[in-house]
A and B are shown apart, each in its own frame.
Chain A
Amino acid sequence: MRSLRSTLRSAAPLGRRWCSEAPSPREMQLLQQVSRLENRVHELQNALPPHVKPAKVENWEDLGFGIVPTNGHTRYTWSGVTNAWDAGRFISDPFVPLHIHAAVLHYGMTLFEGCKAFRCKDGRIRVCNLNENSARMNTGADRLVLPRVPVSMFNEAVDWAVRANAEYVPPYGSGGSLYIRPFLMGTGPILGLQPCPETTFMVSVTPVGNYFGKGGVQGIHASIMKDFDRAAPKGTGAVKAGGNYAADLLPLKQAKAAGFGTTLYLDCVEQKYVEEFSVSNFVGIDSKGAYVTPKTPSILPSITNKMMMQIAESKGIKVEARPLAWDEVSTFREVGACGTATVCVPIASITDGDAKHEFGKFEVLKELRDELQAIQYGECEDPYGWMREVVV
């Protein structure tokens, strides 16, 4: 049955022209046959055991930031022929079939998001601030010429994936959460570089603990990357494009080999201003007690950072989102790396060549992080309206 589907896929030589003609009676007959067979394939697929047997999680406290096989993911397809999204499916097979010329394989047409679902104190499951993720993904979609994902579909896809994997949301008190990975990618076949005729939107989930393991408590040592740039000023640094991340693999490896936990990038024009850590935003508390985070057109706007800023403001802490010269950082009391996966972890030190700047404290940032987590786990009021229950 796979061969039928793959034959159909591989036989499609990128031709809208093939579809512009009306089908002949014979073709109509064949189409109906294909449709019947496809339905049969779906039936059989649902009857089959999952490709990877879901493992039951036993020790929720030991979860790291890896993959635990779950019940499946949601998948929606957009077609350039109809200019519309389909109704979506829940798929248990963790593998995705791709045409050999799928745009994502060759031209990096892909965007991802990261968000989380929490098992709250009241036993209910809630997702955090999805509208921000949806908006950021659509900004990226416009930049990479992929179709936008309507916010209602984004929410539906996430809720569907969470609901179908409810038993994988770590229990309240374990410190874990269900990491949600929505991603949008060009799956249509193209040979020359051009907008992609078919796009797939998927939502995968996996239960996670702390991104940096024990370092999340003790603090991470970062190293400044002067030999590499993260993004060009007018590049794609501000959107969550896949291509931004592969470029960090080598710097990250070099930093780890030298004993560091993460990399810190400076702006590529002057190498003077702070950009961000490899996969998280830079946040700091300066000598006057203000919350400072760098702002440039090439930094990915972290949603966790945005929430922390709101919490800081509500506490009467001055918040400054502005260009931040590296020279200024040495005067900071606290520094943290902030993102969905990490929430906000202390940065113990940043090394710039021979100079090592240590940040002994993590008090104000910890207070902000704890308050954010209290909101996420439903331990306190959510005055910002970030949390939304996923009814199971």
Chain B
Amino acid sequence: MLAARALRGMRASRRGMSTAPDWSKLGFDFYPTRSMLRYDHDGSGWNGGTLQQDFELKVHALSNVLHYGQAIFEGLKCFHCADGSVRVFNSGANAKRLRSGCERLQMPVVPAPMFDEALDRVIKDNLDFIPPYGTGGAMYLRPFLFGHGGKLGLGPAPSYTFCIVASPVGAYYKGGLQAIDGLVIEQYDRAAPRGVGNIKCAGNYAPDVQPSSAAKANGFPICLYLDAKENAYVEEFSTSNFIGITQDGTLVTPSSPSILPSCTKGVILQIAADLGIKVEVRPVPWAEVATFREVAACGTAVVLTPIQSLTRGDKVVRFDSFDTIKKLYDAVTQLQVGLVEDKHNYTRVVAKKPLH
């Protein structure tokens, strides 16, 4: 056990801890960068935050995060752009979503200026770990906030920590877009109607590991959940939102109080509107999905993943055209790396990094 860990550590250090990775080999894994950022809240307010080289935290054994799931996270990316600038993408939406989650879980909120400042500090200290323009990679940023400190009965924690960890990640699609098969989960619910499905709290994710692993073993890389009340309406995929394109080219995405509002979806809906695509946000009955021309999953990690089939029990619904999805995917990814004009101020320049 210990030896295995030591060996991993040694090999990682042999590869060079604080040097840039091999960009072409990056996947979606944690890669230790130069530093992470940590802010602490003792009940009266946030401290100034410190960059630390140590990727370890110590928390009290009887902390809320370990027992009562008082934890929330975000996910966003920054990109090295065509003009040599480093831009963080759509961070305002993440700050807003984090705030609503903090309020729901009784945690101190992170003010938007502090969120931005934190992102800037982490990005600027880890510039050499940002995949260069042209590699297709990005720097994945993981802000997270949790309650800790000794507490036995259920109640708000005595202290809170907010961190941002960065990890360089590779391009998800090495070639063009690749469509995948989805499975509709009948045995489990993702969230209760008045539960916490609409915030990115830690507890929403562990329950999905079992259904997802079982689905993967059966050849389905992605799972789709229906509403918990009637099992009749589309909620969302395991960790991404649902987008459908109808036969007449309208973009449809479900509205429900228990869906996590994807930040990427916000951008996609805006871009779709800009492209003259009609957008509808409304309850989507499962029965309607069979009439869709295109279906995709959207989220930070992949932007848009085309879904080529959805299986519910014995019934399989197939989708074989992805023209609209492709158009939207290209528009978003071009916007992320600064190839098209950013009319809605989704990107924010944080730093400069020379192009090679």
Q: Is the CB of A95 within 8 A of B66?
A: no
A179: nearest chain-B partner, CB-CB? B152
Assuming A9-B56, A106-B142, A106-B202, is B31 touching A67 (CB within 8 A)?
no
Bound Cα distance A3, B56 (Å): 10
Instruction: Give 1 or 0 for each of B31-60: 1 = CB within 8 Å of chain A CB.
Output: 110001000000000000000001111111
Q: How far is the CB of A85 from chain B (nearest CB, A)?
A: 10
A96: Cβ under 8 A from any B Cβ:
yes
Q: Is the CB of B106 within 8 A of A10?
A: no
Q: Which of A18, A19, A248, A269 contacts B154 (CB 8 A)?
A: A248
Q: Is the CB of B69 within 8 A of A18?
A: no
B67: nearest chain-A partner, CB-CB? A112
Q: Is the CB of B9 within 8 A of A250?
A: no
Instruction: Give 1 or 0 for each of B147-161: 1 = CB within 8 Å of chain A CB.
Output: 000111111100000
Q: Is the CB of A249 within 8 A of B106?
A: yes
B253: Cβ under 8 A from any A Cβ:
no
Bound Cα distance A97, B152 (Å): 19
Instruction: Give 1 or 0 for each of A1-39: 1 = CB within 8 Å of chain B CB.
Output: 001001111111111001100010001001100110010
Q: Is the CB of A94 within 8 A of B61?
A: yes
Q: Is the CB of B17 within 8 A of A235?
A: no
Of A204-212, A352-360, A381-389, the one with at least 4 CB within 8 A of chain B: A204-212
| CB-defined contacts of A227 to chain B, threshold 8 Å | 194
Q: Is the CB of A96 within 8 A of B59?
A: yes
Bound Cα distance A97, B55 (Å): 10
Chain B interface residue count, CB cutoff 8 Å, equals: 83
Q: Which of A99, A208, A278 contacts B55 (CB 8 A)?
A: A99
Bound Cα distance A86, B106 (Å): 37
Q: Which of A13, A179, A236 contacts B207 (CB 8 A)?
A: A236
Q: Is the CB of A94 within 8 A of B207?
A: no
**Sample (21) of A-B pairs whose CB atoms are under 8 Å apart:** A10-B55, A14-B30, A18-B11, A65-B153, A79-B1, A81-B1, A94-B150, A95-B60, A96-B61, A98-B56, A101-B142, A110-B66, A192-B301, A193-B208, A195-B213, A202-B61, A231-B195, A233-B228, A247-B203, A253-B106, A253-B156
With contacts A195-B209, A248-B154 known, what are 15 further pairs, Cβ within 8 A? Answer: A11-B12, A94-B60, A95-B58, A98-B57, A99-B55, A108-B201, A142-B210, A179-B152, A181-B67, A232-B190, A232-B192, A233-B228, A235-B190, A246-B202, A269-B229
| Residues in chain B within 8 A of chain A (CB atoms) | 1-13, 17, 28-32, 36, 54-62, 64-71, 73, 103-106, 140, 142, 144, 146, 150-156, 163, 165, 167, 187-196, 201-210, 212-213, 228-229, 238-239, 301
